[in-house]
Chain A
Amino acid sequence: MDTVFGIPGGSVLPLYHELAVASIRHILTRHEQAAAHAADGYARASGKPGVCIATSGPGATNLVTGIANAYMDSIPIIAITGQVSVAMIGRDSFQEADITGITLPVTKANYLVKNIRDLAVTIHEAFHVAATGRPGPVLIDVPKDITTQRAAFHYPPRLHLPGYRSRVEPHALQVAQAAAAIQAATKPLLFIGGGVITSGAHEEVRQLAEEQDIPVVMSMMGKGAFPEQHPLFIGMVGMHGTAAANYAICETDLIIGVGVRFDDRVTGKIEAFAPKAKIIHIDIDAAEIGKVVAAHIPIVADARQALQALLAKLPGKMERPAWRQQIKRWQEENPLRYEQCGLKPQYVIEELYHLTGGRAIISTDVGQHQMWAVQYYPLERPRAFLSSCGLGTMGFGVPAAMGAAIARPGETVVAISGDGSFQMNIQELATLSHYRIPVKIVLLNNGYLGMVRQWQEFFFDRRYAYSEMAGNPDFVKVAEAYRVPGRRVTTREEVVPALQEALETEGPFLLDVLIDREENVFPMVPPGGTLNKMVTGGRQE
């Protein structure tokens, strides 16, 4: 950890007084929510915990969305909040908020430090808890007077956490059963999620897939955990997954779920999910097993360790040509497609893919553009796709990209956003400008809350209630006001040169791309629907 993100204020003034002369870099964001998302993006891109700081009261409450976001996606961030002095707590003091109470349901752990002697060990514990086991956000609330006191620095090398088990060994018997099930299966399917990236198990996944000839589908959190150009890769499953991936779920006789939590956006109608399959569920969090789907063979363990144990039990190679051919047929019959006319968002992302050689770190906001990014920017490596998958937080993309750009200097970082999402943290243009953080913003601007509009079109009689963003600014002018260069794109022909300019310009850049306004995301499984009942394109009447 070398960089923190935050905003000073009354209760953290003593902390900032020291931070100014410390060897830690501090990035001043323009809203605390952005500090939390930046810490999140930093963590996703680097694998190390991200840190954000806010003052008491409104500063702390502004972090809450970012903390909840990290909690839903199991991202390790440390939020340090100022608090009013110990003696003032509970008196409705100026800028007081019970932030440990408020964040109780959205933190892995949180602490209110009421004694300076507890401060160092609390920080140690917070980092340990945030980063180990199933990672998650941890909040430390520090009253102002604690930061003005002095105490001997005591940093115990050993933590006493009798109720916390970060390491869980895979159960040998369960592993043996899983291996036997894989050997017996004729249509097995690897279903991988964020846990694969967290545990660094992508190589093991690849080995298992290749040696046992098992096709691979992913949740959105699993993007990058398996090379998407690999012949065994089928795509994302669920609401906006590929048709082939959803058909595979419906046909498979064995799902090997690794670091996934069977979210409702993945499963669709739960009774109809994978009706023919046995399920092996590998997860480090025992509470995920059986939460949504019943696992026939649960393995509670770190994904990497579990897969290594599994691989050791599976010597030799398998070939499953019939299953592969069936999948290939589905893929050929149902490719991702869009009309080659007008200015299509999919085209913009495809060209971005080509120009960056698929090597950019992509962060997204939430909505249609997020799904197009998943579909049209295939990745080859983990920790290169940052997206608010669980909470679905509009406003995540740009600050998360800032965090990633700082964590991984020298890499191309692109924030793919929409006009709705971007405006939820548009003030971060100032942070990008201030520190010249080289984030390239590709704004897929349709003047709508596009996904809302799409749902209204399909499920709400085309009554477009408050989803049109009338009053959008000229985003290029806004960027210019912040001294961030930008360019507006209105035709297909301009896309490539504009992307080139954005990528070649040093520092941040904003591309405002006026895409076809009513383009929809396909395929689409209606909410609560069955995965093989997809709307696959065209207008639905």
Chain B
Amino acid sequence: MKRTLSVLVENRPGVLTRVAGLFSRRGYNIDSLAVGRTENPSISRMTIVVDGDEQIIEQVSKQLNKLIDVIKLSDITDDPHVGRELVLIKVNAEPAVRGEIMQIVDIFRARIVDIARNSLIIEATGDADKIDAIENSLRPFGIREVVRTGKIAMLRGAKTRGMEASGDGAGE
């Protein structure tokens, strides 16, 4: 079972290592992990897709929540959300087959972003299914390289996964 976790973290050195290390140390499998700055430069958001049963997901969430750099964690799998991935695919493209490739690119509303004598780079965004589909459609031509960002996600509607945190504001 794949779950999508949206995690707000403090933008501090080592936080990515901490999160990634936690997964490997405790034997959890990361499907993908995407990280970037939020509207607040001191806070980053990680979108983590993790594979595991309910008990594993619960442990992952609790262990992540224990990290001091983790401000807030939400499992948004079951909430309506927009989930996107970006992929760059370098595919073999002899002049004779370029037309066919361009048709596929159109169907998936992808774009050609680079062209060489015998190859193209195609850029596509979409959910994981769509990215898998375009990859499969291009495979017969010979894929040379694939670079995927991993999923990023945002809740639909006006709701946000805001910064309202409940941590310690005061010391002794």
A residues contacting B by CB (< 8 A) are 100-101, 104-105, 108-109, 112, 124-125, 128-129, 132, 157-167, 285-287, 289-291
Contacts and interface: CB of A to CB of B under 8 A. Distances in A.
B17 A163 contact: no
A496 B25 CA distance: 49
A128 B62 contact: no
B68 A287 contact: no
A169 B111 CA distance: 54
A117 B161 CA distance: 32
Interface of B: 9-10, 13-14, 17-18, 21, 25, 55, 58-59, 62-63, 65-72, 163, 165-172
A287 B168 contact: no
Contacts, number: 71
A101 B25 CA distance: 13
A285 B66 CA distance: 8
Nearest to B60: A287
Contacts of A101: 17
A112 B9 CA distance: 18
B10 A158 contact: no
Contact of A157 (B67, B167, B171): B171
Given A104-B18, A128-B171, A287-B62, A165 B166 contact: yes
Contacts of B71: 162-163
B68 A158 contact: no
Contact of A163 (B9, B58, B170): B9
Nearest first, the 9 A-B pairs at minimum CB distance are A287-B62, A162-B165, A163-B71, A159-B171, A162-B167, A161-B168, A164-B167, A164-B68, A158-B170
Given A286-B62, A287-B62, A160 B169 contact: yes
Given A104-B17, A104-B18, A104-B21, A163 B70 contact: yes
Q: Main SS of chain A's interface residues?
A: loop
B55 A112 contact: no
Contacts of B17: 101, 104
Contacts of B171: 124-125, 128, 157-159
A89 B60 CA distance: 32
Contact of B163 (A125, A162, A164): A162
Nearest to A165: B167
A128 B9 CA distance: 20
A294 B21 CA distance: 26
A117 B168 CA distance: 21
Contacts of A167: 168
8 contacts: A101-B17, A105-B21, A157-B171, A158-B171, A161-B168, A163-B72, A164-B168, A289-B62
Given A128-B171, A287-B62, 13 more contacts: A112-B13, A124-B171, A125-B171, A128-B168, A128-B172, A129-B68, A158-B169, A163-B165, A165-B166, A165-B168, A166-B168, A286-B62, A291-B59
Which one of B66, B163, B167, B169 has the greatest number of beta carbons of chain A within 10 Å? Answer: B66
A132 B58 CA distance: 24
A358 to B, nearest CB: 34
B160 to A, nearest CB: 16
B10 A162 contact: yes
Nearest to A114: B13
B137 to A, nearest CB: 42
B68 A290 contact: no
Contacts of A158: 169-171
B26 to A, nearest CB: 9
A286 B170 contact: no
Contacts of B67: 163
Given A105-B21, A128-B168, A165-B168, A287 B66 contact: yes
A285 B65 CA distance: 10
A105 B25 contact: yes
